[in-house]
Structure 1
Amino acid sequence: MSRRKLQDRLKLKNVETSHGEQFNDLLRYVFQVTNRDLQTFGWENREIAKSKLPVLQHANVLGWFDGDKLISQLAVYPFQVNLFGHIYEMGGLTGVGTYPEYANLGLMNKLMLHALSNMRDRKQSISYLYPYSIPYYRRKGWEIISDKISFEVQDTQLPKLRMVPGNVERVTIEHPDIRTIYTQFALQNHGAMLRNELAWEEYLRWDLDDMTVAIYYDSDDHPTGYLLYWVAEEIFHMKEMVYLDEEARTGLWNFVSAHFSMITLVKGDIYKNEPLAFILDDGDIKETIAPYFMARIVDVTLFIGQYPFKAQESDCELVFSLHDPMLEWNQGTFTLSVNKEGKGSLQEGGGKPSVIADIPSLTSMLMGYKRPAYLARIGRIQSDGASVQLLEKIIPNEHPYFSDYF
């Protein structure tokens, strides 16, 4: 059969709960999740289709069908993120895959266009994703916006006990204080996701059954930090350490150090630009940094209208020439106006552009992952010195935090 005839018989439509088995079959094939993998994570006696049912119930899932067969798909989760203290609606892109015999037909590009258009309609002005291929998603308009620092600390390098007024309690993952702490933490940290029920389910989906939670309570019995962890083969695995203040951080590390006689190594990840080595007495530890999540601005006008620029002594204005590899509404000449209070707006049109940028670079810059001066220096944006200095003044200087996975 010719490729043209094949394309003509394919239909793009929503993936419903009735397609759950096909949805999971495609995910397992594309990401090579085997039965042995499922057994390793304790899923051998569970129905994976049921485990993913909330995705099909609460997410926007699009797919290409060849007759009744689902052959290409993606899902957009309805999430929220904290960007410099403002809550944004975010479309979390996941479940992306196409069977190899249907590759190179442009199916995924059309799916993404539909998904991004739907995000715009739902006022989701930014999208996050975990990339299986950074170059691929860069070509679609996403850019790296967060890093993951993985560390290994030998038992002899663990912090010495430091007295704190509170105490740690071990609890189950269902304890309500965990979500209370995380919500406060997310509201304090730029880039973080405000986890709804779907987000929590995704975050904990593949965890081992023996994962434990330790909560730090201050002297007034307020929960101010928690640690998700498990111990296996003399290794202390830290999934997530969340703390609202330094007292909680110290208390949780005291708890980790109390395992000295049981372990030889502590392994974990940090999702902020704060290497662990600096705060340990013995900082000669192993740390590796890797790019983690990517994001792209979906609707640049809406995004700018919500963005908290830094207050200045007077109003300011810049003219941008923007390029988006997929979305026509993000392309062209735009005038950015920011008043003294930091309220910005973006209007189509303007004079000669003083800043030339593409959506990936603009996303990285406005997310605080890379500064304007750096992007100009490496040629990712083109601008005169005065415009770069103005961007440095009005864009908040804070590195994104993002620890979730979906």
Structure 2
Amino acid sequence: MGNVQLKLLGDEHFQESMKLAQFAFQYTRTEEQLEEARVRIAEEPSERWGVFVDGQLAAMATVLSLTTYIGGRSFAMGGVAGVATWPEHRRQGYVGKLLVHLLERMRGNGQNVSFLHPFAFGFYRKYGWETYTELKTYTIQVKQLPPRVPYNGRFERQDSYEAIHDVYETYASRYNGSLSRSALWWKHRIPVRKPGQIALYRDGAGEAQGYLLYEVKESSLTVHELIYLTGETYEAIWSFIAQHDSMIEKAVWNAPIDDRLPDRLPDPRIKQEVVPYFMARIVDVEAFLRDYPFLAAEQEDRVYLEVADEHAPWNNGCFELVITPAGQAKVSRLTDVPEIGEALKLGIGALSSLLLGYRKVSDFIFMNRMQGASDTINRLQNRIPGRTAYLPDFF
């Protein structure tokens, strides 16, 4: 196997890491694009780690320092990205070694939850990540677009993202797992992944209530982002999209899973495709639960959680979770597991998916990935906020 070392990647490793990235993800960058990537990496807060075998880079991964909304509250989140290995070094356990190391680093940095986009769901599930959100893609033929309706506001084309930032943050905070975007994210990520037009919608009082990021190309209108704060705004944006009917044949949009556009259509039989998208993992159970915004109730609830986490031993064991009437959590690790039947037994992936709102307790019971008394199950489920998980970004 040779001499194996884990190293923090710096600018001196940039060329070597870019060679691996371009090979693994099958793209080619010009010298100009490489320099843009170098600037972005230097500016965006992140840690890039590599496995070196006999002094040569064999595998690498990045943790982006991001912020996400869960239950309307901001959480520091470690976004795992750029996981790559040269073929001659695959199946040697190097990525597993990196992932365990990244978990330790994220915990130390106060990033108590982590997201990633998997190349294979089964692979990352072994390390504790679990699906937390899906994308619902609409493909709407022009004749199927919603009827245009009158609206009181107006659309303004924008040349920068400044006017839409606050609208996005308000919208994103309503979902679980959406990013709170930094200025650097708007600067580096959005223009590359979501090029085209910026159309801001102001209501009759002149208040910004939504916007559309979109691109028209080859008779297709691609909706990169459709953000709205009111039902009136939603209808106005779709009327605006329908105004493009003379130049397009179809519109395509990756919508949140709870979107109900077909209910507004004269012909709701549009093409819809739902696919799993990102995975999530709680990095530190105790810290995450203490910050988690449980629902308020009339009484205090006490739940015992027996968590299995093979790759983060600080999570592996039994916890007493006391949820106050106000929804504040008090968490303590127990040295003795309560009598059989008292604790809710589950893996770290199931707990992560559950608290992100992607699945309910009953779903994991049905899949035999959770065991516990029905009273415990019901008390916990009743304190979890019912929010949709949605991520309109990629990393």
- TM-score class normalised by the smaller sequence: over 0.9
Structure 2: distance between partners of 1:215 and 1:154? 24
Q: Does residue 365 of the first structure (1) align with residue 350 of the second (2)?
A: no
1:275 CA drift (Å) = 4.2
1:162 CA drift (Å) = 1.1
Structure 2: distance between partners of 1:338 and 1:322? 18
Percentage of matched positions with identical amino acids: 28
Q: Does residue 255 of the first structure (1) align with residue 249 of the second (2)?
A: no
The one-letter code of the counterpart of 2:190 is L
Q: 1:116 to 1:49 in 2, by over 3 A?
A: farther
- The aligned counterpart of 2:22 is 28
- The aligned counterpart of 2:179 is 193
Q: 1:120 to 1:31 in 2, by over 3 A?
A: same
* Equivalent residues of 1:150, 1:267 under 8 A apart: yes
- The aligned counterpart of 2:87 is 100
1:352-391 maps to which residues of 2 (within 5 A)?
A: 352=339, 353-391=342-380
1:2-81 maps to which residues of 2 (within 5 A)?
A: 3=1, 6=2, 9-33=3-27, 35=28, 44=30, 46-57=32-43, 58-81=45-68
1:153 CA drift (Å) = 0.6
- The aligned counterpart of 2:252 is 267
- The aligned counterpart of 1:351 is 338
* Equivalent residues of 1:79, 1:90 under 8 A apart: yes
Q: Does residue 118 of the first structure (1) align with residue 99 of the second (2)?
A: no
375-384 or 360-369, which deviates more: 375-384
* Equivalent residues of 1:148, 1:270 under 8 A apart: yes
1:136 CA drift (Å) = 0.5
Q: Does residue 291 of the first structure (1) align with residue 285 of the second (2)?
A: no
The one-letter code of the counterpart of 2:385 is P
* Equivalent residues of 1:202, 1:405 under 8 A apart: no
- The aligned counterpart of 1:204 is 190
Q: Deviations over 1:333-364 (max 9, x none)?
A: 11111111111122111522421000000011
RMSD of aligned Cα (Å): 1.7
3-state SS, counterpart of residue 32 of structure 2: coil
| Equivalent of residue 228 in structure 2, options 239, 243, 251 | 243
* Equivalent residues of 2:175, 2:387 under 8 A apart: no
* Equivalent residues of 2:175, 2:389 under 8 A apart: yes
Structure 2: distance between partners of 1:162 and 1:175? 27
Structure 2: distance between partners of 1:271 and 1:307? 22
| Equivalent of residue 182 in structure 1, options 148, 153, 168 | 168
| TM-score normalised by length of structure 1 | 0.92
3-state SS, counterpart of residue 66 of structure 2: strand
Q: 1:69 to 1:249 in 2, by over 3 A?
A: same
Q: Which runs of 5+ in 2 are unaligned?
A: none
Say how many residue pairs are matched.
Answer: 390
* Equivalent residues of 1:62, 1:74 under 8 A apart: yes
Structure 1: distance between partners of 2:155 and 2:31? 34
Structure 2: distance between partners of 1:207 and 1:378? 36
Structure 1: distance between partners of 2:263 and 2:241? 18
3-state SS, counterpart of residue 283 of structure 1: coil
Q: 1:307 to 1:196 in 2, by over 3 A?
A: same
Structure 2: distance between partners of 1:208 and 1:249? 20
The one-letter code of the counterpart of 1:177 is A
Structure 2: distance between partners of 1:203 and 1:270? 19
Q: Deviations over 1:119-142 (max 9, x none)?
A: 111111000111111000100100
3-state SS, counterpart of residue 362 of structure 1: helix
3-state SS, counterpart of residue 308 of structure 1: coil
Q: Does residue 334 of the first structure (1) align with residue 323 of the second (2)?
A: no
The one-letter code of the counterpart of 1:325 is E
3-state SS, counterpart of residue 382 of structure 2: helix
Structure 2: distance between partners of 1:131 and 1:176? 32
The one-letter code of the counterpart of 2:167 is I
3-state SS, counterpart of residue 232 of structure 2: helix
196-205 or 59-68, which deviates more: 196-205
Structure 2: distance between partners of 1:138 and 1:279? 37
179-188 or 290-299, which deviates more: 179-188
* Equivalent residues of 2:69, 2:179 under 8 A apart: yes
Structure 1: distance between partners of 2:257 and 2:390? 5
The one-letter code of the counterpart of 2:220 is I
Q: 1:52 to 1:268 in 2, by over 3 A?
A: farther
